[in-house]
Amino acid sequence: MSPSAIRSLHLVGRLLAAVAGAVGMVVVFLALIVATDGAGSGLAAWSAAVGVAVVAALWRGRRRSWRGRLVPFLPVLVAAALTLSVCVPTVPTTRRYPAALSFVTTEHWRLSTGSRVAVYHYPPTGDGPRHRVPLVYLNGGPVRGISVLDHRFLQRLAGQGHDVYAYEQAGGGRSDLLPMDQYSITRSVQDLGAFVGRLGEGRADVLGFSSGAVALTRALADPAVAARLHRAVIAEPGPMDGPTARIAGQKGRPSARGIAPAMTGPRSTHVPRYAVAFGLMRLGLLNPDNGLAGQAEGDNAFTAADLGSDTASAYCARDAHRIPVEDTEQNFSFSPAASLRIQETIKDSPSIAPQLKRSRTPAMLMIAECSSQVRQWETTVLADNPAIQRTQYMPGVGHHMWNGLGDNDRRAAAVITAFLQDKPAPLPDYPTRADIPAFLHDHK
């Protein structure tokens, strides 16, 4: 082998050793982030990782000349700079709330549970009759602001004579944060009961969507809260308890996930700090209440583009190239840590089926044709709740059934209004409890 080839091999070897050293320090740093739960904004893990890397570099250079001893420190410096970026916040670490909306007044109510929530009221409008029972909207998330798209739908319901109230659940949107250990599905149910009680109108109708439908389902299984509910619309629910959450079943017709154009806009997950924090939380390696990126900072950092394919999964495949903009950058708000915490309390909860079977509140279940929810999450609610009087299978729509496309909003509003007014359903009552086996078998 020629001398030049030997020199090239030695150079490649040194480069590989340097890369391996830098990667090794990054791996040690991430392991220490997990071990320390991100203590001190990650600086505890960073200091320890740099210390270990410096000791290793000194040991590698112990028999070299003074210049040679410096070489092992180059990958240490590179890795130290990379990992230090994980420890430096790039957004405010105190909560920065969305600006006020121009078309509706934001009120703040202190509930008897201690939660301080942002409230929106759409009084009944239009020429039709006014409905005496107020309608409360529980949005999905679970800890997310109400989108502009949803606000438009609430305005439509108000235009049909409903006295519509909506509130952003604690920690979401313009509502105040809670200490992380206070977020739970039980607290969400208690807040619903307290909110309806604060209305002072007696019982209320409730429309719960997605994770909001989960809170509503569990409220129906809680006699103290259910006593305050007049009628319930359970729209596209997620898993209602631990046993249901462990079901890995089928989904609806194909959604736009994987075929819709990628969302544009800045992503916090392109910033090393939040990519590490959110990624490790999602993997269950960091607690939601970790010391790396606090709840308020995570809320400030998270953007609509970070939802990625989750947004596309709420639409039918046929709508992949016309998915509407659901929200404005100024109004968007999502709390990844608090949402994860609530989801964990659902997964850890025992079955609520025995309590739900005693429900007497008239209810309706709404199921989307292109639902991204596991079908058994929805059919379990139908099977276990004897008070569900009708099911409306909504053709041509995905998980987000009112989405501003075509006449989807009008059709969803017609289904909801017909049930709340105890009028004949616009669509067949399908699937019924007897239809569940065939419904699942046919992959509807």
The residue-averaged pLDDT of 321-339 equals 95
Which residue type is seen at 296?
A
pLDDT digits (tens, 9 = 90+) for 8-32: 544 444 555 556 667 878 888 899 9
With residue 149 as reference, give the H or E element that holds it.
helix 148-159
Contact 242, 232 (CB under 8 A): no
Buried b (16+ CB within 10 A) or exposed e, 203-224: bbbbbbbbbbbbbbbbbbbbee
* Share of residues in the chain with pLDDT > 70 (%): 92
The residue-averaged pLDDT of 317-344 equals 95
Which pLDDT band holds residue 93 (cuts at 50, 70, 90)? very high
pLDDT digits (tens, 9 = 90+) for 139-178: 999 999 999 999 999 999 999 999 999 999 999 999 999 9
DSSP code of 434? G
DSSP code of 93? S
The residue-averaged pLDDT of 258-279 equals 91
The residue-averaged pLDDT of 380-389 equals 97
User: Encoding tokens for residue 43?
Assistant: 């600086």
pLDDT for position 67: 59
pLDDT for position 269: 87
Domain spans of the chain? 3-87, 107-267+303-441
Q: Crossing angle, helix 185-199 and helix 211-220, to 10 degrees? A: 80
Distance in angstroms (rounded) separating the CA atoms of residues 212 and 235: 8
Is residue 386 exposed (0-12), middle (13-18) or buried (19+ Cβ within 10 Å)? middle
pLDDT for position 12: 47
Task: Flag whether pLDDT at 5 surpasses 90.
Answer: no
Distance in angstroms (rounded) separating the CA atoms of residues 28 and 48: 9
pLDDT digits (tens, 9 = 90+) for 107-151: 999 999 999 999 999 999 988 788 999 999 999 999 999 999 999
Secondary structure of residue 160 in the 3-state scheme? coil
Distance in angstroms (rounded) separating the CA atoms of residues 277 and 289: 11
With residue 363 as reference, give the H or E element that holds it.
strand 363-370
Which pLDDT band holds residue 65 (cuts at 50, 70, 90)? low
Secondary structure of residue 14 in the 3-state scheme? helix
Which pLDDT band holds residue 58 (cuts at 50, 70, 90)? confident
Contact 263, 325 (CB under 8 A): no
DSSP code of 98? P
Task: Flag whether pLDDT at 309 surpasses 90.
Answer: no
Q: Helices in 227-335 by DSSP H: which ranges? A: 242-245, 272-282, 295-301, 309-312
The residue-averaged pLDDT of 221-234 equals 97
Which pLDDT band holds residue 62 (cuts at 50, 70, 90)? low
pLDDT digits (tens, 9 = 90+) for 360-371: 999 999 999 999
The residue-averaged pLDDT of 271-281 equals 94
Share the mean pLDDT of the chain.
91
Task: Flag whether pLDDT at 293 surpasses 70.
Answer: yes
The residue-averaged pLDDT of 50-65 equals 72
CATH number of 107-267+303-441: 3.40.50.1820
pLDDT for position 23: 82
pLDDT for position 24: 79
**In 3D, which of 365, 366, 352, 382 has the Cα closest to residue 221?**
352
Distance in angstroms (rounded) separating the CA atoms of residues 171 and 168: 8
- β-pairing, 229-235 vs 204-209, is parallel
Q: Crossing angle, helix 3-36 and helix 272-282, to 10 degrees? A: 60
